[in-house]
Amino acid sequence: MSMNTQGRPTGVGTVGTGASGSALIPDEPLLFEIGDTEHSGVDLPDVTFSGDRLGGFARKSKLDLAGLTEPEAMRHYVRLSRMNHSIDSGMYPLGSCTMKHNPRLNEKMARLPGFSDIHPLQPVSTVQGALEMMNQLSHWLLTLTNTAAVALSPKAGAHGELLGMMAIKAAQEAKGEAHRTVVLVPESAHGTNPATAAFLGYTVKPVPAKDDGTVDVEAVKAALSPDVAAIMLTNPNTCGLFEPQVIEIAKAVHDAGAFFYCDGANFNAIMGVVRPGDLGIDAMHINLHKTFSTPHGGGGPGAGPVVLSEALAPFAPVPFVRKTANGLELVEHIEGDALGRVTAFHGQMGMYVRALTYMLSHGDDGLAQAAQDAVLNANYIKARLQHIFSVPFPDYPTMHEALFDDSFLRDSGVSTLDFAKALIDEGFHPMTMYFPLVVHGAMLIEPTESESKQTLDRFCDVMAELATDAIAGNKERFTSAPTKAPRRRLDETRAARQPVLKWEKPADLPQAAE
Amino acid sequence: MRYLPHSAHERADMLGVIGAADIDALFSAVPKSALKSFDLGLPAHQPEFLVEAHMRALASKNHAAGDGPFFVGAGAYRHHVPATVDHLIQRSEWLTAYTPYQPEISQGTLQMLFEFQTQVAKIMGMDVANASLYDGSTGTAEAVLMARRLTRKNKIVLSGGLHPHYRDVVKAYLKDDPDLVCLSPSPEGQGDILQQIDGNTAAIVIQTPDFYGHLRDLKSAAEAAHAQGALLIVVVTEVVSLGLLEAPGALGADIVVAEGQSIGNALNFGGPYLGLMATRKEFIRQMPGRLCGETVDADGNRGFVLTLSTREQHIRREKATSNICTNSGLCALAFSIHMGLLGEAGFVRLARLNHFNAIKLADALEGVPGVTVLNKTFFNEMTIRTPQPAAGLVERLARRGILAGVPASRLLPNDRSVDNLIILAATELTTDADISALAAALTEELA
Amino acid sequence: MTTKFTPDHEYIRVEGSTGIVGITPYAQEQLGDIVFVELPAVGKALKKGDEAAVVESVKAASEIYAPVTGTIVEVNSLLTNEPGLVNSDSEGAGWMFKIAISDASELDTLLDADGYAELTL
């Protein structure tokens, strides 16, 4: 790892001036520029057969796929990888993303042939250990949330959210209440919530937030009507606050015949400390790739199991595991009101193994301690920075995220984006910016429990120094940042106006620009 | 606890800086009745070796595919994954990186996605591919919705050869939709999908090789669909087939969806897998999922960014093309590395080897008294009719250590006509000894 | 020839019974670089306030609403390849669509130049 001028590890290469192509910051050509159709890094026999069974559908068009031998491929992908920031090389203070440490025991367990080399459709009698594993994971999730049923199969948080809302829709229809076509969503919600509701044909009705950043039970009551099917509430909410009236909100929603969908994106703040079922939720997805440490992998795969209340349990999708006298059974088909199936096979098994490994490593004591440390860390950052950064909602202690607005940058000529980009030059990934939308120029910081006090102190020092410099008028440092990363700021307008979405052979490109 | 960096001293110091008496003070917004008001009764934290022992005990109760002759396919396939692939995807900078929203420090992931999109577009013969979806089944549902947006028409016809799980996912996404037509299973390979196309049809969905292994005529389907202003959605569950079969794009497909698991990704009991989607250039704005595009940085150097993101939920909220947030980044990386290692030469050899072994499997099965192979055409998978119900037969073969394929009834439990059908796949990993063992065991069980 | 404005930052320049609609210079500046414009179909009938078009910048997508009730008679197809015209000349070459005005009295409900200027102070 390289060091920046302060002698701190930077997480991404910062040797020299930041110009690409130096020894440690490779400027790597595209696979198609270094490979060709003759090279291959896999030895396979070249079989010949007479009489194929392809019925005349054999390929005639060109494939034109570039290949690399093994040493070339190794170098290509290692060199590319070095242009990435990662948790293992530095902090990701990304609010609402829960970028915590990814234990390698999880990876080792997921690769045991008994988990990785089993087929989803091989006889159930030959995968009893896999079903037991799913059962154990379910037990942990149900116990941590105090709910009645869990659907493991959703592929990610948004998919789980879709499934949860489908279950709510099915339940309303089964009650003869299909006329309920409105879903309440607080203004501060993540964009997936309204996207999911609209996807299912619901009309989204926003619920305003109070000045203190929380949702007012009176505003919810005022918005409730016989048309409302559900409320979608994130708790802890996107401003990093626990909704103090959540139990009253749940009661009002239930009294009006609606269901309470809880976005579980922020479960990391309360796992083992608060059970969502005790708050009156009916459905909640849990992002195993956030709360339970399965790796983000540069954008997936995730996993988004959904826990369901007693009222929604009959609408859980297939598949699920059931105990019988002859061992565990995998229920893959059911008749009736249930949703059917939201993905082929049984969901993200590889992620289940990692999440259960993480749970067993922590135990219930460790999970509660992790949640408390995550909250402690966020409050520590808030306490250390509030003298210079502006806190929009100071009334409550924050949960696992510290939220600031951009009023400290007023008249500095430095935007939230500029400020965040300057963090890159100091070796940190930017925080979440401009979200939640209810706060002007929002900066949402989630340290997670994985960061040591030393790292937090270093982060706070850097943040304070940057803020002081911005206020002092050193605008150039921010508007030109980053200068020490593998690339300077990229021209996103150009990318969107003339999309180039795949590599074309220079010879194949049209002579004039389109 | 080995994952938590703070000592008790440090926690106390930090609470002091915050000005909180204890940790509970930070949870003051939580209603008292809900805060730590329970005993979970779960085990306490454990050392690594005990956790490992626990997980190993569970894993050891499963029969791994590599433990014996193995012919299970039907949408997930056991292929060899080069050691290089699994090593590379475990590198910190790939494994523990976030979605590349900060392009300056995510060029590795972004360039890889650009290469991945190019590879996918090439094998499918399409103009553009996205940066992956969850899997083939959800990708199919997304393609159906995309076709409706593009054509502003509603009728969707699913071929009887479409994987039943894929059909079920589309049904769940379009719950009780009167314009969704699902044709009956067609294990004999004939289908009447072309007769279903009318002026209200948004798309027809055809899988090839289909669920039973038959190869479908895409060209006629495309012509029939286009004549009515409908789109042809092609589904491929075995992506290795594209090394030997004509690209769907060359035959007139409008949207191609595939399950990419076969390249670079293990069976994993069904997930995580990799949804591939490609389409025509003019349809980009209605395509769901992330896209990576080329551009330049402030110094004029080539670089890559996520682009056209206004189609996505975090910006368009209730007007988004889909509610998808996460894709299958690491699975896409595994695919891209494996495909980069194969190259054209390797990919074609791999496909030929699969077909070669499948021909041997089909010939051996034809030789088993009482067994009929239903396929005239296939790539690496086929359906046989047996004189006995397939579920019990497959179970008995499993007890002999042979995983002999998927009884069609497992996926179509309400259709008695498929009770005696088994779907079997061969791959490059299938040996002559595996095939002989299967044929011998099957002969004995049926005797 | 009069030009009227909506509080949502559309302008409508009235030429006889037709209105030429686009977004104001203020709006284009707030949105930043426009990268895509989705235009309505010619012949489409819209009520005042209906979604007529969509403009996308790198980070945001915004709906353009019909300032008055009417039928789309022409769209600026140049924007398909040159969305940047909305930035460089929003009131001129960056116009979006022409609408045949059904009820001229609706124009009276819109803002005049002074009223709009006050709104964007």
Helix/strand/coil (H, E, C) string of A316-330? CCECEEEEECCEEEE
Cβ B212 vs Cβ B244: under 8 Å: no
B118's CB contacts (< 8 A; 6+ apart) are: A31, A32, A502, A503, B129
Q: Which residues of B touch C58 (CB under 8 A)?
A: 309-310
Q: Is the predicted pLDDT of residue A351 greater than 80, yes or no?
A: yes
- Residue A14, pLDDT score: 33
For B244-256, letters b (16+ CB in 10 Å) and e give: bbbbbbbbbbbbb
Chains in contact with A via at least 3 Cβ–Cβ pairs below 8 Å: B, C
Do the domain assignments include residue A420? yes
How far is Cα A40 from Cα A48, in angstroms, rounded to an integer?
19
Give the pLDDT band (50/70/90) at residue B212: very high
Q: Taking a C-beta distance cutoff of 8 angstroms, is the pair B61, A51 a contact?
A: no
Residue A336's pLDDT is 67
Write the CATH number of the domain with boundaries B83-338.
3.40.640.10
Across all residues in chain A, what is the average pLDDT? 91
Residue A81 lies in a domain: no
More confident position, B407 or A208: B407
In the prediction, which pLDDT does B227 show? Answer: 98
| Residue C77 scores a pLDDT above 50 | yes
Whether B315 has its CB under 8 Å from any CB of chain C: the answer is yes
Does residue A450 lie in a domain region?
A: yes
pLDDT digits (tens, 9 = 90+) for A92-128: 999 989 999 999 999 999 999 999 999 999 999 999 9
How many whole angstroms separate alpha carbon B281 and alpha carbon B288?
14
Q: Tell me, yes or no, if the pTM score tops 0.80.
A: yes
**Assigned CATH class of C2-106:** mainly beta
Q: List chain B residues with CB under 8 Å of C38.
A: 285
* Nearest residue on chain A to C84, alpha-carbon basis: A497
Mark which of A303, A327, A360 sits at the end of a domain.
A360
Distance from CA of C3 to the nearest CA of B (A): 30
Written as six digits, the tokens of A145 are 């949330």
Is A274's CB within 8 Å of B30's CB?
Answer: yes
| Chain B residues lying within 8 Å of A353, measured CB to CB | 55
Same domain? For A282 and A409 the reply is no
Q: Which residues of B touch A497 (CB under 8 A)?
A: none
CB contact set of B390 (below 8 Å; sequence gap of 6+)? B407, B408, B409, B419, B420, B421, B422
Are A263 and A121 in a shared domain? yes
Last residue of a domain, one of A309, A329, A360: A360
Per residue in C55-67, pLDDT tens? Answer: 988 877 888 999 9
Same domain, A356 and A472: no
Question: A511 falls in which pLDDT band (50, 70, 90)?
Answer: low
Report the chain C residue with the minimal C-alpha distance to residue A499. C35
pLDDT value of residue C44: 94
Q: Which residues of chain A neighbour C83 with C-beta distances below 8 Å?
A: 497
B65-81+343-446 maps to which CATH number?
3.90.1150.10
Measure the CA–CA gap between A449 and A502, rounded to whole angstroms: 39
- What are the chain C neighbours of B310 within 8 Å (beta carbons)? 35-36, 56-61
Subunit contact B271:A83, Cβ cutoff 8 A: no
Q: What is the mean pLDDT of chain B?
A: 95
The reported pLDDT for the residue numbered B324 is 64
Among chain A residues, CA nearest to C57: A493
Question: Per-residue pLDDT for A23 more than 70?
Answer: no
Residue of chain C whose alpha carbon sits nearest to that of B307: C58
Is the pLDDT assigned to residue C1 strictly greater than 90?
no
CB-based contact A342 B169, cutoff 8 Å: yes
* Confidence at residue A323, expressed as pLDDT on a 0 to 100 scale: 86
- Within 8 A by CB and 6+ apart from A389, the residues are A404, A408, A443, A463, A467
Name chain C contacts of A496, Cβ cutoff 8 Å: 35-36, 56, 58
Is residue B312 scored above 80 in pLDDT? no
Helix, strand or coil, per DSSP, at residue A436: coil
Amino acid found at A508 = D
Say if A282 is an interface residue toward chain B (CB within 8 Å). no
Task: Return the pLDDT at A8.
Answer: 32
Task: Note whether C84 contacts A: Cβ–Cβ < 8 A.
Answer: yes
Q: What is the pLDDT of residues A390-420, one digit of tens each?
A: 999 998 999 999 999 999 999 999 999 999 9
* Mean pLDDT along residues B362-366: 98
Q: Which of A178-187, A316-325, B12-21, B272-281 has the lowest mean pLDDT?
A: A316-325
Closest CA to B328 of A29, A128, A302: A302
Confidence at residue C121, expressed as pLDDT on a 0 to 100 scale: 72
Query: Which range (A495-509, B7-21, B32-46, C6-20) has the least confidence?
Result: A495-509
Predicted confidence band at A195 (pLDDT cuts at 50, 70, 90)? confident
Which tokens sit at A36?
């060709």
> What digits encode the pLDDT tens for the residues B47-76?
999 999 999 999 999 999 999 999 999 999
Query: Are A139 and A241 part of one and the same domain?
Result: yes
Q: Which pLDDT score, from 0 to 100, does residue B315 have?
A: 54
Q: What stretch(es) of chain B map to CATH 3.90.1150.10?
A: 65-81+343-446
**A360, A378, A393 - which closes a domain:** A360
Please judge whether A497 and C83 are an interchain contact, meaning their C-beta atoms are less than 8 angstroms apart: yes
Most A CBs within 10 A among B9, B55, B259, hence the mutation to make, goes to B55
Amino acid identity, position A80: L
Domain extents in chain C: 2-106
C-alpha pair distances (Å), A442 with each of A195, B128, C58: 21, 35, 18
Q: How far is residue A340 CA from its own chain's centroid? A: 26
pLDDT band at B321 (very low <50, low <70, confident <90, very high): low
Q: Write the CATH number for A139.
A: 3.40.640.10
The beta-carbon neighbor of B267 closest among A112, A116, A332 is A116
Q: Report yes or no: A443 and A459 within 8 Å, Cβ to Cβ.
A: no
Q: Which domain holds residue A189?
A: 107-360
pLDDT score for A507: 73
Which residues face A307 on adjacent strands? A150, A284
- Beta carbons within 8 Å of B431's beta carbon, 6+ residues apart: none
Gap between the Cα atoms of B194 and B225, Å rounded? 8
A19 assigned to some structural domain: no
Angle, CA B165 vertex, CA B322 and CA B309 arms, to 5°:
15
Given an 8 Å threshold on Cβ–Cβ distance, is C59 in contact with B315? yes
Give the mean model confidence (pLDDT) for residues A488-506.
Answer: 94
The residue of chain B nearest to residue C56, with distances taken between CA atoms, is B310
Range in A3-17, A238-252, B303-317, C27-41 the model is least confident about: A3-17
Beta-carbon pairs below 8 A across chains A and C? 13
pLDDT for the residue numbered B326: 64
pLDDT tens for B71-108 read 999 999 999 999 999 999 999 999 999 999 999 999 99
Provide the token pair at B3: 């994952």
Q: Please give the pLDDT value at position B308.
A: 87
Using the beta-carbon criterion (under 8 Å), do A115 and B59 form an inter-chain contact? yes
Residues 50-109 of C with CB under 8 A from B: 56-61, 63
Cα distance from B386 to chain A (closest Cα, Å)?
18
Is C26 a residue whose pLDDT tops 70?
yes
pLDDT at A61: 93
Give the model's confidence band at B314: pLDDT under 50 very low, under 70 low, under 90 confident, else very high: low
In this prediction, residue B38 carries a pLDDT of 93
Q: Check residues B308 and B380 and name the one with the higher pLDDT.
A: B380
Closest Cα in chain A, distance from residue B225 (Å): 19
The CATH number of whichever domain residue A486 belongs to comes to 3.90.1150.10
Do A399 and A481 share a structural domain? yes
Average pLDDT over residues A163-177: 94
Nearest-neighbour CA in chain A from B255: distance (Å): 16
Predicted local confidence at residue B318, as pLDDT: 60
Amino acid at B415: D
Structural domain count of chain A: 2
Summarised one tens digit per residue, pLDDT across range B336-362 is 999 999 999 999 999 999 999 999 999
pLDDT classification of A271: cutoffs 50, 70, 90: very high
Same domain flag for A281 and A236: yes
Percent of chain C with pLDDT over 70: 99
Give the pLDDT band (50/70/90) at residue A334: confident
User: Residues of B with CB below 8 A from A246's CB?
Assistant: 31
Distance from CA of C23 to the nearest CA of B (A): 19
- Residue from C58, C62, C63 whose CB has the most chain A CBs within 10 Å, to mutate: C58
pLDDT at site A426: 96
* Cα–chain center distance at A100: 11
Q: Is the ipTM of this complex over 0.95?
A: yes
Q: Residue with structure tokens 């430095």?
A: A414
How close C71 comes to chain B (CA, Å)? 20
